[in-house]
Structure 1
Amino acid sequence: MSLLGFGRVLVVTAVEAERAAVAGGLGAATAVTTAAVGVGPAAAAAGTARLLTRAECAGEPFDAVLCAGIGGGFAPLAAVGGLVIADVSIAADLGAEDHDAFVDVEALGFGRSRHPADRRLLDGLRAALPDAVVAPVLTVSTATGSAARTAALAARVPGAGAEAMEGFGVAAAAEGVAFAELRAISNPVGPRDRAAWRIPDALARLRTAFAALAAFPAPPGPAEPPAPAA
């Protein structure tokens, strides 16, 4: 079974609980490989690169990479218990401070801080998960825990939907392979309040999302060429 019409798909998460939720939703989708690669952009990039390299060396390269897991949602756009599909994964704190301003790596001339989702994969996710919010997902190395930082990030990336810690790293490792990111929202981005976290609910939402993806019909392939005339 393929996922959204892609042949071999790699779904990477940060931790085992997320991977188990994804695998539980997928069921018998045997063309999909799931792996927990570690927390943070560096671990995510290293783990994803290792898996992609091994597959390529074995002559079975992946056709798509999906970073999945739970994350914080920016209110009011992304509510706890909802889903956010990233149209772009952004390394939100990759850059430099210039007094009170933040300068991203593009402005510094050092590289890139944004990886757009693959259009075909994004369209498939949107079709299979019509209730999901489509918005930028921010990758950070330190989870936000204050109103001031929440406001700064929201101003830096207007329309941001969610915050997590792996998407940009996975995208960087998957350069040249179709990539997208999907997050189930476990808590609002803002002042740290563990009583407001709904991690089991978010993991359950992740599971149902991947069940929906597994059940969604693949788009039709290219038409067969006409048979030669007799």
Structure 2
Amino acid sequence: MTLLVVTAVEPEAEAVRAGLPAGRVRVAAVGVGAAAAAAGTARLLALAEAAGSPYQAVILAGIAGGFADRAPLGATVVATRSIAADLGADSPDGFISLDELGFGTAVAPAAPTLLASLRESLPDAITGDILTVNTATGTAETAETLARRFPAAVAEGMEGYGAARAAADATLPFAELRTISNTIGPRDRAAWRIPDALAALTKAARSLGL
């Protein structure tokens, strides 16, 4: 399988490359946020298609915040679904999702075969929904609201749904793989464990020979 692994930033890409087994895997940083992830992933897929060497699957990899009591620091998480948590509309009665508005879906399920391969390769990984947000959570109130709205969510990032949409438009299987650097909630940079999460990402990348 010719696999494209996209990350938000270069340190994540370097961590993935450091753990990759020999094989046909391309790793590229495409930028922070869902829009950058969608545009960057779509561009790489189009270029590969035009060159006659198309990719066969896409994985978004990186570090993320984990929900307390669901995904501890250093854990590896694999998305069953990548969900655009704040894509929709505000209202006096609360948030209205894109699905509820009838304008499409904010939910991108992981490809079953790809998800199964990752689960087999990473038996200790936590599986669940990974939220895609445009603004990283920084308060206990927002963390509690998200945890209540998405009881199956284990982590949040900023790129998964965007990369998933690019893969879907190219009719390619997609999955999201993250390692946990911080707990979702009040921003406490002193408590972040980014080097540990990057090291865990290198270890997890060994599964990407698929």
The alignment's TM-score, normalised by the length of structure 2, stands at 0.97
Is 1:101 the counterpart of 2:101? The answer is no
Q: Secondary structure at the match of 1:53?
A: helix
Q: How far apart are residue 160 of structure 1 and its match? A: 0.6
> Is 1:23 the equivalent of 2:21?
no
Runs of at least 4 residues of structure 1 off by over 4 A? Answer: none
State the distance in 2 between where 1:86 and 1:184 align. 11
Post-superposition shift, 1:27? 4.4
Query: Residues 59 and 176 of structure 2 are in contact (CA less than 8 Å); yes or no, is this contact kept in structure 1?
Result: yes
2:173 to 172, 178, 184: 178
Residue 213 of structure 1, CA deviation: 3.7
How big is the shift at 1:99? Answer: 1.1
Q: How many Å separate the matches in 2 of 1:145 and 1:164?
A: 13
Aligned length: 208
What SS does the aligned partner of 1:184 have?
strand
Percent identical among aligned pairs is: 58
Deviation of 1:159 after TM superposition, in Å, equals 1.9
Show the 5 A alignment for 1:111-190. Answer: 111-175=104-168, 176-190=171-185
Whichever residue aligns with residue 93 of structure 1, its letter is: D
Letter in 2 for 1:197: W
> Match of 2:58?
65
Match of 2:186 among 178, 186, 191: 191
Q: By how many angstroms is 1:211 displaced?
A: 1.9
- Flag the structure with larger Rg: 1
Equivalent residue, structure 2, for 1:92: 85
Structure 1 residues 74-131: Cα deviation after superposition (integer angstroms, max 9, x where no partner): 1101000001100000000000111141100111011110000000000000000011
Q: Once superposed, what is the RMSD of the aligned Cα atoms?
A: 0.9
Contact 2:64 2:181 in 1 (8 A): yes
Determine the structure 1 residue equivalent to 2:103: 110
Structure 1: gaps (5+ residues): 1-6, 219-230
* Paired residue secondary structure (1:145): coil
In structure 1, what is the Cα distance between the partners aligned to 2:206 and 2:165? 27
**Matching residue within 29, 35, 42 for 1:36:** 29
Give yes or no for contact 1:14–1:36 (8 Å, CA) kept in 2: yes
Quickly say closer, same or farther: Cα 1:35–1:126, change in 2 above 3 A.
same
Q: Which amino acid aligns with 1:68?
A: A
Instruction: Identify which of 174, 190, 200 aligns with 2:195.
Output: 200
Decide whether the 8 Å contact of 1:129 with 1:213 is kept in 2: no
| Greater CA drift, 97-106 or 193-202 | 97-106
Distance 1:131 1:186 in 2: 17
C-alpha displacement of 1:28:
2.9
- Is 1:13 the counterpart of 2:3? The answer is no
